């Protein structure tokens, strides 16, 4: 008999035996596993890194304290589990739990009521929460929460542990509470002399500039511990990563973000490509402090986990540093909205100030082509079609008006440059990168293709429906121009890393310049004045274009 459940009487078949075992496992009444926490399945436990983690809301405790414990799944849910609190290095359960979810139940292990938590069914689970209460007396020591996770009957992990929770008579408040804001004091002091610092904008000080994204790493000679600090503005999370290359994928990551309750928690993760990183056990991490203040999220901690990218290991290796930030939903991070990557590999044991990655040449070519297309050829083509039809009146080549041939030539160059720039960007990024810029770019690309296609099927100049083409062609051109300007603004934000954002200011000046020239051209002037304005328009656009191209080249 196990917890009131009778085993089948002999004789019975092997299949009936395993059906009985499965029924007990699915019910979670597994007190037979209290000591070794190993499911009584036919298979052995997995030796690989578990895709699940155990987290706590505090890292120190005293008698009678309550600690919130969470069992979290990454991309793979678990069906069964068992959770206990034990002294570090111990094998007996300690303290007592309470649960509020119907997916969890309390067990009596080694005669201690409510000393373990298990599942109630084999339904898929992504998270389980329990509250552990420390004993009120006795010789207490530091503890760890240990869990077993079952993915399916033949796939399970044993001994997945939380970070140690230190016994301290004067225990600190929960580490992910906003009340510890004053304990996270990120500063650029020591950058280059005692610590490795990486920031965006370059050399910004988070103690002075709240919009500063900042990462620092400090090591001690002869010690494997790395003290890491990160801070930056975000509504969801900020994260730091260590990578073998300058692309997402195979990166060791620490995430500092809001959980489902809005508090700040630290998570360890590993990215496997362009998808949500796999959450790992926090591992050998201590001294965790976190805070959020006016959407500025900060975390500091000490880790003795080896940095692993599955291609290299050991804290002495060289890595590219990454800072990313983005939104989150109920504690689950979403695709990042900003990424900063060091331009060289870094030895984090060697204090230095790290500079940010420059944009790849292909992305610079993409931006340059878009600027040329929509600041010169496109703008001139539209100006000629709108205002200069009468300048070369009566002059024809190949049976067409000169203004028309120039307009078609310039707009063909514009569409061709847009197509090439579009292809370059997607070939470099390798997919959809999120944000407003690619959305605007795709719309511009689609509408730009409509223009020549529609023109190919237009009716004759004297046709009574010709006005429909004229208006639709003109309105589509205005829409393309407006969206292209918006796309350029959002695109320049990727290159504009200086605190004064001068690239965006130059683009704003260009918009004002073009608007002024359009207003002047709307006045009915003699054609000689129109030519003067056309030359002035061209020279002004070239000046703004050169300034922006120089900015992109030096970004």
Whether the pLDDT of residue 20 is over 50: the answer is no
* Interaxial angle between packed helices 361-372 and 527-553, expressed in degrees from 0 to 180 and rounded to the nearest 10: 170
Domains observed in the chain: 14-167 (2.60.40.4060), 178-354 (2.60.40.1210), 361-553 (1.20.120)
pLDDT for the residue numbered 97: 95
pLDDT band at 357 (very low <50, low <70, confident <90, very high): low
Cβ atoms of 301 and 287 closer than 8 Å: yes
Tally of CB atoms within 10 A around 516: 12
CA 444 to CA 483: how far, in whole Å? Answer: 6
The CA-based dihedral angle spanning residues 303, 308, 314, 320, taken in that order and rounded to the nearest 10 degrees: -90
Q: Is 314 left (phi over 0), alpha (psi -120 to 50) or beta?
A: left
Instruction: Note the residue count of the chain.
Output: 555
Asked whether the CA dihedral 415, 421, 424, 427 is positive or negative, the reply is negative
Collapsing DSSP states into helix, strand and coil, what is residue 155?
strand
pLDDT for the residue numbered 117: 94
Question: Which secondary structure element, helix H or strand E, spans residue 146, and what is its range?
Answer: strand 143-152
CA 96 to CA 112: how far, in whole Å? Answer: 8
pLDDT band at 7 (very low <50, low <70, confident <90, very high): very low
Asked whether the CA dihedral 530, 535, 540, 544 is positive or negative, the reply is positive
What is the arithmetic mean of pLDDT over 423-430? 74
Beta-carbon-side half-sphere exposure of residue 436 (alpha carbons within 13 Å) = 12
pLDDT for the residue numbered 239: 94
**Could you give the residue ranges of the DSSP H alpha helices within 301-435?**
361-372, 378-387, 402-429
What is the arithmetic mean of pLDDT over 189-195? 83
Collapsing DSSP states into helix, strand and coil, what is residue 217?
strand
CA 117 to CA 102: how far, in whole Å? Answer: 12
Q: Which residues contact 292 (CB under 8 A, 6 or more apart)?
A: 178, 181, 258, 264, 298
pLDDT band at 241 (very low <50, low <70, confident <90, very high): very high
Tally of CB atoms within 10 A around 441: 24
Nearest to 324 by CA among 315, 333, 314: 333
Percent of the chain with pLDDT over 70: 82
Whether the pLDDT of residue 403 is over 90: the answer is no
Tell me the C-alpha to C-alpha distance, in Å, between residue 346 and each of 192, 321, 349, 386, 391. 12, 7, 9, 55, 61
Nearest to 204 by CA among 530, 498, 447, 440: 498
Mean of all residue pLDDT scores within the chain: 80
* CA 154 from centroid of its chain's CA atoms: 34
What is the arithmetic mean of pLDDT over 480-504? 78
Tell me the C-alpha to C-alpha distance, in Å, between residue 81 and each of 2, 3, 5, 70, 116. 18, 17, 19, 12, 10
Q: What is the DSSP secondary-structure string of 420-444?
A: HHHHHHHHHH-S---SHHHHHHHHH
CA 354 to CA 203: how far, in whole Å? Answer: 9
Structure tokens at 334: 């979403």
Whether the pLDDT of residue 244 is over 50: the answer is yes
Q: How buried is residue 11: exposed, middle or buried, by Cβ count under 10 Å (0-12/13-18/19+)?
A: exposed
Structure tokens at 290: 């976190």
pLDDT for the residue numbered 95: 94
What is the arithmetic mean of pLDDT over 126-155? 90
Lowest mean pLDDT among 35-39, 362-366, 390-394, 398-402: 390-394
Peptide bond into 28 cis (omega under 30): no
Cβ atoms of 148 and 37 closer than 8 Å: yes
Tally of CB atoms within 10 A around 347: 14
pLDDT for the residue numbered 3: 39
Cβ atoms of 487 and 444 closer than 8 Å: yes
Tell me the C-alpha to C-alpha distance, in Å, between residue 8 and each of 11, 21, 25. 8, 10, 15
Cβ atoms of 98 and 104 closer than 8 Å: no
What is the arithmetic mean of pLDDT over 64-89? 89
pLDDT for the residue numbered 393: 61
Cβ atoms of 167 and 62 closer than 8 Å: yes
Q: Of residues 27 and 311, which shows the higher confidence score?
A: 27
Nearest to 148 by CA among 44, 57, 42: 44
pTM metric for this prediction: 0.44
Radius of gyration of the chain (CA): 32
Largest CA distance in the chain: 110
Q: Of residues 553 and 293, which shows the higher confidence score?
A: 293
CA 385 to CA 382: how far, in whole Å? Answer: 5
For 525-555, how does the pLDDT look when each residue is reduced to its tens digit (9 = 90+)? 545 566 777 788 888 888 888 888 887 776 6
């Amino acid at each position: 008999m196990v917890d009131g459940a009778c085993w089948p009487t002999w004789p019975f078949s092997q299949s009936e035996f395993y059906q009985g075992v499965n029924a007990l496992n699915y019910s979670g009444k597994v007190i037979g596993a209290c000591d070794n926490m190993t499911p009584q399945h036919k298979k052995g436990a997995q030796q690989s890194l578990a895709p699940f983690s155990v987290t706590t809301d505090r890292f120190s405790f005293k008698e009678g304290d309550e600690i919130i414990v969470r069992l979290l799944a990454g991309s793979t849910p678990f069906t069964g589990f068992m959770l206990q609190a034990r002294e570090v290095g111990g094998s007996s359960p300690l303290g007592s739990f309470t649960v509020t979810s119907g997916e969890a139940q309390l067990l009596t292990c080694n005669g201690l009521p409510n000393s373990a938590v298990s599942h109630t069914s084999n339904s898929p689970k992504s998270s389980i929460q329990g509250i552990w209460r420390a004993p009120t007396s006795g010789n207490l020591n530091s503890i760890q929460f240990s869990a077993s996770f079952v993915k399916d009957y033949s796939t399970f992990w044993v001994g997945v542990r939380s970070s140690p929770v230190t016994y301290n008579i004067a225990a600190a408040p929960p580490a992910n509470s906003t009340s510890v804001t004053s304990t996270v004091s990120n500063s650029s002091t020591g950058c280059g002399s005692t610590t490795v610092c990486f920031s965006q904008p370059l050399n910004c000080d988070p103690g002075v500039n709240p919009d500063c994204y900042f990462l620092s790493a400090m090591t001690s000679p002869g010690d494997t511990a790395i003290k890491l600090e990160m801070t930056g503005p975000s509504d969801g999370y900020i994260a730091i990563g260590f990578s073998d290359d300058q692309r997402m994928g195979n990166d060791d990551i620490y995430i500092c973000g809001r959980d489902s309750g809005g508090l700040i928690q630290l998570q360890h993760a590993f990215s496997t490509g362009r998808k949500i990183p796999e959450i790992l056990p926090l591992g050998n991490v201590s001294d965790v402090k976190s805070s959020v203040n006016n959407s500025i999220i900060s975390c500091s901690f000490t880790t003795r986990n080896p940095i692993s990218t599955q291609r290299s290991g050991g804290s002495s290796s060289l890595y590219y540093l990454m800072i990313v930030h983005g939104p989150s939903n109920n504690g689950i991070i979403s695709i990042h909205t900003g990424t900063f990557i060091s331009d060289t590999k870094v030895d984090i044991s060697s204090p230095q100030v790290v500079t940010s990655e420059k944009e790849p040449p292909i992305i610079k070519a993409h931006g340059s082509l878009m600027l040329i297309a929509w600041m010169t050829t496109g703008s001139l083509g539209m100006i000629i079609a709108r205002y200069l039809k009468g300048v070369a009146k009566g002059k024809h080549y190949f049976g067409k008006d000169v203004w028309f041939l120039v307009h078609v030539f310039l707009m063909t160059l514009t569409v061709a440059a847009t197509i090439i720039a579009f292809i370059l960007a997607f070939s470099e990024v390798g997919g959809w990168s999120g944000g407003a810029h690619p959305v605007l770019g795709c719309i511009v690309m689609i509408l730009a293709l409509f223009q020549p296609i529609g023109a190919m099927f237009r009716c004759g100049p004297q046709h009574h429906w010709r006005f429909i083409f004229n208006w639709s062609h003109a309105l589509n051109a205005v829409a393309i121009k407006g969206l292209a300007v918006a796309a350029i603004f959002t695109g320049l934000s990727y290159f504009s890393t200086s605190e004064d954002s001068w690239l965006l200011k130059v683009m704003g000046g260009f918009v004002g310049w073009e608007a002024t020239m359009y207003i002047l051209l709307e006045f009915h002037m003699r054609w000689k004045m129109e030519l003067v304005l056309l030359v002035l328009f061209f020279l002004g656009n070239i000046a703004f274009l050169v300034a922006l191209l120089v900015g992109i080249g030096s970004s």
